[in-house]
Structure 1
Amino acid sequence: MEKTYDPRAIEQTVYQEWETHGWFAASGEGDPYCIMLPPPNVTGTLHMGHAFQDTLMDTLIRYHRMCGDNTLWQGGTDHAGIATQMVVERQLAREGQSRHDLGRDAFLDKVWQWREHSGHQIQQQMRRLGTSIDWSRERFTMDDGLSEAVAEVFVQLFDEGLIYRGKRLVNWDPVLHTAVSDLEVLSEEEQGKLWHMRYPLADGSGHLVVATTRPETMLGDTAVAVNPDDERYRHLVGKEVELPLTGRRIPVIADDYVDPEFGSGCVKITPAHDFNDYAVGTRHDLPMINIFTIDAKINDEAPEAYRGLDRFEARERVIQDLDAQGLMERIDDHKLMVPRGDRSGAVIEPFLTDQWYVKAGPLAEPAIRAVEEGRIRFVPENWNKTYFEWMRNIEDWCISRQIWWGHRIPAWYDDAGTIYVARSENEVREKYNLDAQVNLTRDPDVLDTWFSSALWPFSTLGWPEKTPELKTFYPTSVLVTGFDIIFFWVARMIMMGLKFMDDVPFKEVYVTGLIRDAEGQKMSKSKGNVLDPIDLIDGITLDDLLAKRTQGLMQPQMEKRIAKATKKQFPDGIPAFGTDALRFTLAALASSGRDIKFDLGRIEGYRNFCNKLWNAARYVLMNTEGQDTGVNGGEVEFSLADRWITSRLQVTITEVHRHLAEYRFDLAARALYEFTWHDYCDWYLELCKPVLTGEDSSEAARRGTRQTLVQVLETLLRLMHPIMPFITEAIWRQVAPLAGREGATIMHQPYPQVDESARDAQADKEIEWMKNFILGMRRIRAEMDISPGKPLPVLLHNWQPEDQTRFQSSRAFIEFLGKPESVQWLHGEEPPESAMALVGEMHLLIPLAGLIDKEAEIARLEKEVAKVQKNLTQCRGRLENPSFVDRAPAEVVEKERTRVAEMGASLRELEGQLEKIRRL
């Protein structure tokens, strides 16, 4: 092995070998286990959320593969209709062209060319993360097989009356000229205004005051609503008001939607431009007047004075005109949530258009029962409530988009506007008995990207064909996903799976939290706190990191703020941590469903953990290569330490199996870390030295320790492999032959199983006693500032016969690690002034006389006491200041209280030591 652990020298070479040999493919043997990769956008790049979820999925896949299951990780990418079209349109714009210049077919050819040459970045990045996806089965939502599945589902649902075309309100992006889903709308708080406007009563008896954040929409008002129980307005219900600037009269209606406590208690109703108003308008059969064009300009439904104006220009004109007529009551500053398209950045407009819809109610009912009956289990279970709440109030799903890239809707129209749905135009004519004389025009819209991804669990396995893969792997085992797409994807996959496969698409849904920065803030480009997983793996200089974080920002102040924060956090850039350290960090942070604060301190610690494992393996190899490890026969004798570490390994194997079964990746990682770092490296590698180097050790004992060294390490590598695949593969290939194992790769080795016969409770107790003995001596050395190499006289008081027995059985270890000068068992006599440590009930005493420079030690301790007292006084002062406690963030206050408690404990310990020295 190389002297220094260097992940860059291992990872890409090892991964290429894995993929070249086809080792990620399902074995065809064992129980089926399948995970569907949530398909990332073809335009996407790997972000921390991907890295987190991919690490967890790969851990499960590698674990089940090693457990002997017939394991498939089905991967692929989503065509990302809007995002991909925008990428190609920007390229065309740089060449002075638009998609309309090319025409639909030529433009789609350009998109396919882009996908072929540039649309594979995220797959390459996923390889860097070590994901063991079966790349030979990779699918794309626009490939022929999945396109066939999409058409089949659409036609079947239409024929059953579950897909229809209708005029309803949608989120409309006036820049992209298409409907968008709620997930593609980002609502953030912005400073705005609240305009209070007077609507005169038609009978001249006064006026009503309504308030709005969008005055221009009043041109499309069709009613004013009040609460039916509001005594102020009950007598006005049924009357009319003059709608200013329009010459129209609109009714006053009563509806429970209106909150009488909010504002004036009167609400303007614009059904074609507000989702709540749309519901009110539907209940009261109000006219729905759309006043906008597709690019959010005022159309011919509005008075002539406003036609052709942009909506925000129209807003200013309306405000001016109302004010001129004395109809503007007042204007208030007002913070409001403004919805913007995540791709265009434009303010989204509720817009009344003709769209295609899935009738969701009938599909939701069996999907609700599937979770109620336990056929699908959410982990953590609290996400059941979120799922039920949405599903029981589900609305029809708008599935059409007014773009060109995507699955074109399989619908045709004749000249009279009659709709015909089939898989092709020829099938339309045959299905509806239309002759060649009937002119047919295909619907120009495409399907929402989420429509094709809703079919992902069965379309990727070959449906509608009855393939062997579909029979074997459907339903899949678990879906790993974020909570933010439970509605958009998870629920829809459940509905579609039950509808077309008559079974659930997966048995469990493991819902992850969000990755946040070290301060708990959501990662976003505008905050400049986004971390790139590849930068964490490879490292990045400060200059390059700053360039990435401020890329595309036009605001100098924002760039300055991001640059300042970045330099403070990463003064030297980000070092190369390697993939295994990143993966182990993500697994260790993956507590059940909680959001994760990602701190580089953690990944640095796990990079050190990789170093620790590497150095331990080098030590094992140096002591076993070319030596007899007893795997081919010969007498072996196992020491107390050998039996103990083998027993501890069984405990760890049990814990890891249990935690992975419960999706507690954090607890599995902790168990592996504790065993590797503390039990194996810190203790066992030291405890084996007296046997390997001792003159009194027999060859059988040395052989037993060598065998234990390599077999425990080899087993540990297999145990750790699902989380840290690269380093375990590299070390295993050198250790395996010494442990008597054969094979080309660790990933096809059996996952460790518990050997109950190797549990040794007696060895556990004796080693624990011995560890307390040695730790007691070490603690006294540290407290009294005694050199680690100085032999110490040890007095033992309050002991029992079993303590003497345990001492004799572990004497060689104690003398090697503790370095006692002598050991005296006291029989009731009063010991001299000593430092004491407890070993069970026994007192381990180190006489202090002659061991330390009394005056120097007193001076040292007094100086330390004064330092702690000063810091403690300052911290207590802050906590006694009401201004600090009330204004500082709760976590800061709690941190300060923890410091006070810790310093108080340290002070008491120092004062105790000082008093003990003074008594000498």
Structure 2
Amino acid sequence: MLDKSYRPQDVEGKLYARWMEQGAFAAGRNDSEDAFTIVIPPPNVTGNLHMGHALNNTLQDILVRFERMRGKDVLWQPGTDHAGIATQMVVERQLAEQGITRHDLGREKFIEKIWEWKEKSGGSIIGQLHRLGASCDWDRERFTMDEGLSKAVRKVFVQLYKDGLIYRDKRLVNWDPKFHTAISDLEVEQKEVNSHMWHFNYPIEGEEGRYITVATTRPETMLGDTGVAVHPDDERYKDLIGKNVVLPIVGRLIPIVADEYADPEQGSGAVKITPAHDFNDFEVGKRAGLEVINIMDVNACLNDDVPEKYRGMERFEARKAIVAEIESLGLLEKIEDHTHMVPYGDRSGVVIEPFLTDQWFADAATLAQPAIRAVESGRTKFVPAKWTNTYYDWMRNIQPWCISRQLWWGHRIPAWFAEDGTIFVEETEEEALAAAKAHFGKDVDLTRDEDVLDTWFSSALWPFSTLGWPDKTPELEKYYQTDVLITGFDIIFFWVARMMMMGLHFMDDEPPFHTVYIHALVRDEHGAKMSKSKGNVVDPLDLVDKYGADALRFFLSASAAQGRDVRLSEQRVEGYRNFTTKLWNAARFCEMNECAVAEGFDPFATKDPINRWIVGEVAKCEAAVREALEGARDGYRFNDASNAIYSFTWNVFCDWYLEFAKIPFQGEDEAVKAETRSTAAWVLDQILKILHPFMPFVTEELWGNVGASRAADLVVSDWPVYPENAVDAAADAEMIWVQELISGIRGVRSEMNVPAGAKIPMIFNEGSDEHKARLDRHWDVISRLARLESRDVDADLPKGSLQFVHDGASVALALAGAMDLDAEKARLQKEISKLTGYMTGLNKKLSNEKFVSSAPEHVVAGEREKLAEAEVKLAKLNEAADRLSEL
């Protein structure tokens, strides 16, 4: 016998261990040629489970459990990412607590320390995914620095280099002065800063007393100026184009050049050009042939290319000193308050410096073309479709991808340098030495590049490197192309686009997936983005501890409407815990009534209309869930699938069918009782199967403890398939008629505040013969569920009767004897008066412009919601009062 209550904390760990032990999640469990593959977006090895992970992995798990039950050979490929900067930062921080730096240890010892940390605690998020119920093939777990994946990285780098798609160049990059590495544009966070705009006067060479005024937000860079730009059509400066100015403090002569980058409407219309420290200036400098002078070192301190007094000075200290010296020279025109965007490293939190340095780049523009065509042709589609344009916008304007990082942790670049600077790019040092010998005609010493690759370079290979590429493995043959990629919109550029580029280039023009499903953000209950600084971050494991994994999973899937952010509501998570309780109690009810599927029972040959109806409802539910989860047409509608099985389980099965079934359970017709017992047990089994992908733990626990002995666990059972004629239209119409009649009577009782225990007479007039027959067949059910004392057909109405129309028939309820009509009228008037006063207060508050403009948005929205609810309630009260006045 089932326990009185379901305790997820006693069940979830036990069940997950059993699934793992029996290899329930392993790819290749069946010999189906129909494969279904999803690759997990590999979480950082430094990471912990957050709500975004919980949503992402819940949606993936729903699909893989669904397709596994449908008989497909499913691979859900798991793994973690080495996360270059993030991981190095964690270990460096640990060393700093001991007063040690990585330089004290040296590269090899430091990397050993990272591997030690990774083995000890780097996989904590995997255990957290277990708790969520993620059914990945954990035996195939990969790490982006596993030897097999490293082999793929080396192969890709070398081939792209030899194809001319990777090259080394001296260019401006986003330099992180804290981590001493280049970072990508996508790793730069733009923050609004209140600062100043400084206006400096640069003297015109040979024209005493004449100046050109330039404005800057970064005075420290002026020591590296190599030009001043004006617009070619700016009449104010036409006579100065081609002349020089004397760069203050430095004394260097720099030219005034014409370039459309200078905006005559901004400031003075003249801009200082510092090609080594500004991306726009770099391009102007190239067009004008200006000198490029880097005035900073890796720490963002001024170097030896500035006047001696500034050498070694930190950039922001130099800013103050330069402004002071410019002012002392009489060249400071003015200082204005100015708000502008400043780039910060998203991990280091320091201001990023445009920095001229030698880096490795991938020709992203060339690699992007097949990736654009794959989406244009429909071979890969985005769901929701709106993200297609986001993808196009970025891919069609893509810049060279800086793929080198000045870190120690990561895939070291397979490039070696000879003493004369000749570069040899090969997969191994032996091959590089051989190439060098062929080049020079003798053995030479080579030095390996110190840099490592951008983390996203290796994760771009994830869909095929995890399957054994570059070797031609059976897994690669069977599971590539993968099916749907489920990910967040924030890594469309980081990861999705780069997987598309690499997959198409290295897998014979085959995209890595046919669909990219972009899920939305999980926000707090007020719609705000979660952040530690706001203090509104909710740990998903706290909710799992409190309500169980199934409740959190179901909340996330039911909330995952395409294109709409998820608002986290603990109250709704609790509500879905109550759903597990409802299911549990329904199973106990069936168990107490000895429900079991009899040998030879055919649910599609039942005779009783109640049973024929519920069998058809099961088929409708399964079709709705299946169509919402399948990728065809507008599939991946997780909320629709969740709501279909929820509505069927709670409303149709529990609230209607089991109530209907109490009559035969308590009756003396043994044939109907036996059929209903088998039907109830069969329907419960179907619910467990259909609900399993969403709520794997409670469904598995019930599967193993209710009904007949099982041949296998639910996790490896088959998805239900029903005949096309599963829905009996006649039974369907009949039971809907019965439900609507009962609901109509209940509605009147509720509206009129009829005491729950009062039984009332019903008069049924003007109904068809079929209506009367239905009333006779189901009177026991109708009278019990609607709390009716008696029925009369085609009879006169007693005084104090209230009527409503049901399917053309007139249904009258004799209320006078069941309630005090005068007292109810008085109660309604009191409620109406109280509610009207409450609404007056709300209207007064919402008409107050000061309140509406100054109160938080969610507070105002809450007040408006209260008013809307009150208006609906008042309309119902007025309607009830009007109806009572007629009696």
Letter in 1 for 2:661: C
Offset, 1:36: 0.8
Offset, 1:190: 2.6
Q: Does 1:439 align with 2:434?
A: no
Unaligned segments of structure 1, at least 5 residues: 539-575
Q: Which residue of 1 aligns with 2:388?
A: 384
Residue 246 and residue 754 in structure 1: after superposition, are their counterparts in 2 closer, same or farther (change >3 A)? farther
Residue 224 and residue 24 in structure 1: after superposition, are their counterparts in 2 closer, same or farther (change >3 A)? same
Q: Does 1:596 align with 2:596?
A: no
Residue 764 and residue 231 in structure 1: after superposition, are their counterparts in 2 closer, same or farther (change >3 A)? farther
Q: Which shows bigger deviation, 101-110 or 445-454?
A: 101-110
Q: Which residue of 2 aligns with 1:800?
A: 768
Offset, 1:388: 1.4
Q: Percent identity?
A: 52
Offset, 1:601: 1.8
Quick check: 1:31–1:70 contact (8 Å CA) kept in 2? yes
Residue 162 and residue 816 in structure 1: after superposition, are their counterparts in 2 closer, same or farther (change >3 A)? same
Number of residue pairs aligned between Structure 1 and Structure 2? 876
Q: Which residue of 1 aligns with 2:491?
A: 485
Q: Which residue of 2 aligns with 1:728?
A: 699
CA distance in 2, matches of 1:635, 1:47: 45
Offset, 1:233: 3.2
Letter in 1 for 2:812: L
Offset, 1:19: 0.9
Offset, 1:891: 6.2
CA distance in 2, matches of 1:520, 1:289: 48
CA distance in 1, matches of 2:882, 2:431: 97
Q: Which residue of 1 aligns with 2:514?
A: 507
The DSSP-based 3-state class of the residue aligned with 2:708 is helix
Residue 765 and residue 204 in structure 1: after superposition, are their counterparts in 2 closer, same or farther (change >3 A)? farther
Q: Which residue of 2 aligns with 1:239?
A: 243
Q: Which residue of 1 aligns with 2:188?
A: 185
Q: Which residue of 2 aligns with 1:650?
A: 619
The DSSP-based 3-state class of the residue aligned with 2:235 is coil
Q: Quick one: which of 162, 171, 174 aligns to 1:171? A: 174
CA distance in 2, matches of 1:895, 1:158: 59
Quick check: 1:36–1:479 contact (8 Å CA) kept in 2? yes
Quick check: 2:203–2:210 contact (8 Å CA) kept in 1? yes
Offset, 1:830: 6.1
Q: Quick one: which of 669, 681, 687 aligns to 2:654? A: 681
The DSSP-based 3-state class of the residue aligned with 1:10 is helix
Q: Does 1:704 align with 2:707?
A: no
CA distance in 1, matches of 2:179, 2:760: 80
Q: Residues 368-447 of structure 1: matches in 2 within 5 Å?
A: 368-432=372-436, 433=438, 437-447=443-453
Letter in 2 for 1:6: R
Offset, 1:402: 0.8
Quick check: 1:637–1:701 contact (8 Å CA) kept in 2? no
CA distance in 2, matches of 1:304, 1:272: 19
Residue 817 and residue 412 in structure 1: after superposition, are their counterparts in 2 closer, same or farther (change >3 A)? same
Q: Which residue of 2 aligns with 1:81?
A: 84
Q: Does 1:749 align with 2:717?
A: yes
The DSSP-based 3-state class of the residue aligned with 2:547 is coil
The DSSP-based 3-state class of the residue aligned with 1:39 is coil
Q: Residues 9-88 of structure 1: matches in 2 within 5 Å?
A: 9-26=10-27, 27=29, 28-88=31-91
Q: Which residue of 2 aligns with 1:620?
A: 590
Q: Which residue of 2 aligns with 1:907?
A: 874
Quick check: 1:780–1:836 contact (8 Å CA) kept in 2? no
Residue 127 and residue 187 in structure 1: after superposition, are their counterparts in 2 closer, same or farther (change >3 A)? same
Letter in 2 for 1:418: T
CA distance in 1, matches of 2:791, 2:867: 39
Q: Which residue of 2 aligns with 1:133?
A: 136
Residue 189 and residue 422 in structure 1: after superposition, are their counterparts in 2 closer, same or farther (change >3 A)? same
CA distance in 2, matches of 1:878, 1:458: 60
Q: Which shows bigger deviation, 230-239 or 441-450?
A: 230-239
Letter in 2 for 1:872: M
Q: Which residue of 2 aligns with 1:823?
A: 791
CA distance in 1, matches of 2:580, 2:389: 41
The DSSP-based 3-state class of the residue aligned with 1:322 is helix
Q: Residues 838-877 of structure 1: matches in 2 within 5 Å?
A: 838-877=805-844
Q: Does 1:641 align with 2:644?
A: no
Residue 158 and residue 786 in structure 1: after superposition, are their counterparts in 2 closer, same or farther (change >3 A)? same
Q: Quick one: which of 463, 467, 475 aligns to 1:461? A: 467
Quick check: 1:714–1:735 contact (8 Å CA) kept in 2? no
Offset, 1:901: 4.1
Q: Which shows bigger deviation, 700-709 or 211-220?
A: 211-220
Residue 912 and residue 372 in structure 1: after superposition, are their counterparts in 2 closer, same or farther (change >3 A)? closer
CA distance in 1, matches of 2:797, 2:117: 87
Q: Residues 264-663 of structure 1: matches in 2 within 5 Å?
A: 264-432=268-436, 433=438, 437-502=443-508, 503-538=510-545, 576-624=546-594, 629-631=598-600, 638-661=607-630, 662-663=635-636
CA distance in 1, matches of 2:590, 2:809: 35
CA distance in 1, matches of 2:874, 2:718: 52
CA distance in 2, matches of 1:633, 1:395: 64
Quick check: 1:475–1:505 contact (8 Å CA) kept in 2? yes
Quick check: 1:387–1:487 contact (8 Å CA) kept in 2? yes
Q: Which residue of 2 aligns with 1:669?
A: 642
Q: Which residue of 2 aligns with 1:834?
A: 801
Letter in 1 for 2:665: L
CA distance in 2, matches of 1:117, 1:442: 30
The DSSP-based 3-state class of the residue aligned with 2:236 is coil
Q: Which shows bigger deviation, 781-790 or 451-460?
A: 781-790
The DSSP-based 3-state class of the residue aligned with 2:200 is strand
Offset, 1:443: 0.8
Tell me the TM-score normalised to structure 1 length.
0.92
Q: C-alpha offsets along residues 503-555 of structure 1, whole Å, 9 cap, x if unaligned?
A: 111111111111111121111111111111111111xxxxxxxxxxxxxxxxx
Letter in 2 for 1:610: T
Q: Which shows bigger deviation, 502-511 or 195-204?
A: 195-204
Q: Which residue of 2 aligns with 1:809?
A: 777
Quick check: 1:690–1:816 contact (8 Å CA) kept in 2? no
CA distance in 2, matches of 1:239, 1:413: 43
Quick check: 1:197–1:210 contact (8 Å CA) kept in 2? yes
CA distance in 1, matches of 2:425, 2:86: 28
Q: Which shows bigger deviation, 54-63 or 761-770?
A: 761-770
CA distance in 2, matches of 1:880, 1:349: 50
Residue 425 and residue 464 in structure 1: after superposition, are their counterparts in 2 closer, same or farther (change >3 A)? same
Residue 424 and residue 630 in structure 1: after superposition, are their counterparts in 2 closer, same or farther (change >3 A)? closer
Q: Does 1:101 align with 2:71?
A: no
Q: Which residue of 2 aligns with 1:569?
A: none
The DSSP-based 3-state class of the residue aligned with 1:688 is helix
Quick check: 1:854–1:917 contact (8 Å CA) kept in 2? yes
CA distance in 2, matches of 1:589, 1:254: 56
Q: Which residue of 2 aligns with 1:761?
A: 729
Offset, 1:716: 1.1
CA distance in 2, matches of 1:634, 1:353: 74
Letter in 1 for 2:258: A
CA distance in 2, matches of 1:469, 1:430: 34
CA distance in 2, matches of 1:109, 1:666: 46
CA distance in 1, matches of 2:609, 2:602: 21
Quick check: 1:630–1:703 contact (8 Å CA) kept in 2? no
Residue 636 and residue 392 in structure 1: after superposition, are their counterparts in 2 closer, same or farther (change >3 A)? closer
Unaligned segments of structure 2, at least 5 residues: none
CA distance in 2, matches of 1:454, 1:816: 63
CA distance in 1, matches of 2:134, 2:604: 43
Q: Which shows bigger deviation, 129-138 or 87-96?
A: 87-96
CA distance in 2, matches of 1:834, 1:908: 22
Offset, 1:207: 2.4
Residue 782 and residue 755 in structure 1: after superposition, are their counterparts in 2 closer, same or farther (change >3 A)? same
The DSSP-based 3-state class of the residue aligned with 1:146 is helix
